[in-house]
Amino acid sequence: MLDKTILVTGFGPFGVHNINASWAAVQLLDDLHFDGYKLIKHEIPVTYEYIDGNIARLWEEYNPTFVLHVGVSAEASAITLESLARRKFYCKSDANGVFHPTREVCAKDEGPVVHFPQINVEDIVAELDTDTLRFVESTNAGLYLCEYLFYTSLNVDNTRILFTHVPPLNQPYSAEKLAEALTKIIHSALKQLPLDEY
């Protein structure tokens, strides 16, 4: 019997983020912490074109039990779990500097104005937040590639997915500490899925 799959993505470099904290943390995730699951780690280029052309394919290829998308935010000082993604008003250039979503709208297919993950973000924050490793909930994922990815993925399946923003490296957390936080999020989220999935 094949292992069930957890898909975790981080973003590649862009702007001042020559080393993207999201991908640095994702790369450090350890398969041994996810007994019975095959861990797939995938780097996402910071382009709208890549997201449009590949996210649905990743879902189809891996049929994941759970998906965690991770991005970096210079405004974050805690591990920030996003509780929604918006479809419209994407007006910033991507890492290529030339491509904007058509009509500033996310997703080639129709979708709701706002998408919500079915996994309860508030419960995860309440479970995990401590004085030494802070977790917070957010309702503003930034209307850039992070939110664009989150919406696109939610448009495929909103029942087994989360998005989290991490701060830049060492502001205040190391890549190792961020990987620890992501591991905790995954385990907490899996507990919310149906028993036959966990």
Catalytically annotated residues: 82, 146, 165
Q: 119: alpha, beta or left, given left = phi > 0 and alpha = psi -120 to 50?
A: beta
Cβ(114)–Cβ(85) under 8 Å?
A: yes
The conformation of residue 3, written as its DSSP 8-state character, comes to: P
DSSP structure string for 90-152: --S--TTSS---GGGB--SS---SEE--SS-HHHHHHHH--SSS-EEEES---SSHHHHHHHH
